[in-house]
């Protein structure tokens, strides 16, 4: 009989703008990660020796984020040197994959207590840094995709075109993301999970939330990803993805404590949630960001549920076209989709986003008395993770 994995706690930093001068841009990513590791341990009252492993997501694993940043963060956090750690790259879903791996390890009996999470400092290690001086497009890969693959922004454009999502609809969704996030901050919703950053005490809220954003204001922004070569390759594409309806570059870290239900009971810790099902899929690498659609269908089938059984769904807002296409394809209730705002407002510190979404989903279920929620994330290369969470 497999052990049951439960969530004890989730924390995160505020997010800072991922550029020089951003609220967290002067904080080394190792120390950002160390801060959430320290906080999650202190809040649970555990000693680091009681942690079997630390699994952290990080996408750009070079420079300040190189050399297995998870291990560096464990040491910087003052954990016992006997605590191991490893760093995971499943692109945008890296820390959600860390959650999956840890919970599966607990279910298999390999772990009793694991800290999972992620970190990304996009101001100090810019997006794309890991490919500097080289390319993943090998001769064999080019032979399979002779026209070449595209960046995620172009994939977001292709999705908007395929699902007929106009510029007004994209911008309206983006402005609603800011409105929901701003309202949640005003209500104190994030106060349970957001912790201070010792190295940046002035960073108290998410720097990327823009209260008062309207679709009309966003309408004046130019398209971000159109080039003459791409326009020739994809004739008829309207080019409607802008900085306003995309997630901003951000800095941040997040962490969660997972345990077996048995170990939690032994330690007198109250579980906040358990997992009903997990799934991970591969999908078309050109469209790239459509993976949450099949991932959702598969994880719901594994859980024996339908979308109508869920009280909320967190679908990462890498670009507005991603959750909108997902919602259209699955006939989802807009009110339950990212009810506290999403990455367009709250930022997308790549390696950190999976556990950030987990915390937002869990806090929302607790605040509203909801029972079941879905979390799914599109990922570079055409993949997606999905999980169903049950509040306890």
Please calculate the CA angle 304-309-311 and round it to the nearest 5 degrees: 135
HSE value, Cβ hemisphere, 13 Å, CA-based, for 156: 30
Residue 85 · residue 56 · CB < 8 Å: yes
Residue 37 · residue 86 · CB < 8 Å: no
Annotated active-site residue in 28, 58, 92, 364: 92
Helix axes 167-186, 321-330, angle to 10 degrees: 100
| 378 a catalytic residue | yes
HSE value, Cβ hemisphere, 13 Å, CA-based, for 31: 11
**SS3 of 157, please?**
helix
Please, which residues have CB within 8 angstroms of residue 248's CB and are 6 or more apart in sequence? 17, 18, 208, 344, 347, 348
| 178 a catalytic residue | no
Q: Count CB neighbours of 126 within 10 A.
A: 16
Beta strands (DSSP E) in the chain are 5-12, 16-17, 53-57, 85-88, 113-121, 250-260, 273-282, 312-315, 372-379, 383-391
Annotated active-site residue in 58, 100, 178, 378: 378
Annotated active-site residue in 28, 100, 178, 348: 348
| 92 a catalytic residue | yes
Catalytic positions = 92, 348, 378
């Amino acid at each position: 009989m497999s052990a049951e994995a439960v969530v004890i706690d989730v924390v995160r930093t505020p997010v800072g703008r991922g550029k020089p001068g951003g609220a967290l841009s002067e904080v080394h990513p190792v120390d950002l990660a160390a801060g959430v590791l320290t906080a999650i341990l202190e809040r649970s009252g555990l000693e680091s020796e009681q942690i079997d492993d630390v699994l952290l997501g990080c996408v750009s694993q070079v420079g300040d984020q190189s050399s297995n940043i998870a291990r560096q963060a464990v040491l910087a956090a003052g954990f016992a040197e006997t605590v191991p750690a490893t760093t995971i790259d499943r692109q945008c879903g890296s820390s959600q994959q860390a959650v999956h791996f840890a919970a599966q390890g607990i279910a298999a009996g390999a772990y009793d207590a694991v800290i999972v999470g992620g970190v990304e400092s996009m101001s100090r290690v810019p997006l794309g840094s890991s490919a500097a001086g080289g390319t993943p497009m090998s001769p064999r890969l080019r032979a399979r995709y002779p026209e070449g693959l595209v960046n995620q922004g172009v994939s977001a454009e292709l999705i908007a075109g395929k699902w007929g999502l106009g510029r007004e609809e994209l911008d309206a969704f983006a402005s609603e993301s800011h409105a929901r996030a701003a309202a949640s901050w005003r209500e104190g919703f994030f106060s349970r999970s957001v912790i201070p950053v010792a190295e940046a005490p002035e960073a108290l809220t998410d720097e990327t939330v823009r209260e008062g954003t309207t679709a009309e204001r966003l309408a004046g922004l130019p398209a971000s990803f159109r080039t003459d070569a791409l326009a020739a390759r994809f004739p008829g594409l309207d080019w409607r993805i802008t900085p306003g309806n995309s997630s901003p570059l951000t800095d941040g870290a997040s962490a969660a404590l997972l345990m077996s239900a048995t170990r939690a009971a032994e330690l007198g810790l109250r579980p906040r949630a358990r997992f009903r099902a997990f799934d991970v899929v591969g999908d078309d690498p050109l469209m790239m960001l459509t993976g949450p659609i099949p991932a959702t269908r598969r994880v719901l089938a594994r859980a024996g549920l339908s979308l109508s059984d869920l009280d909320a769904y967190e679908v990462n807002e890498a670009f507005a076209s991603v959750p909108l296409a997902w919602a259209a394809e699955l006939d989802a209730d807009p009110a339950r989709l990212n009810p506290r705002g999403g990455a367009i407002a709250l930022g997308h510190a790549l390696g950190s986003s999976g556990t950030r979404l987990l915390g937002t989903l869990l806090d929302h279920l607790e605040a509203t008395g909801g029972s079941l929620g879905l979390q799914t994330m599109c990922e570079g290369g055409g993949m997606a993770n999905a999980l169903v969470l049950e509040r306890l």
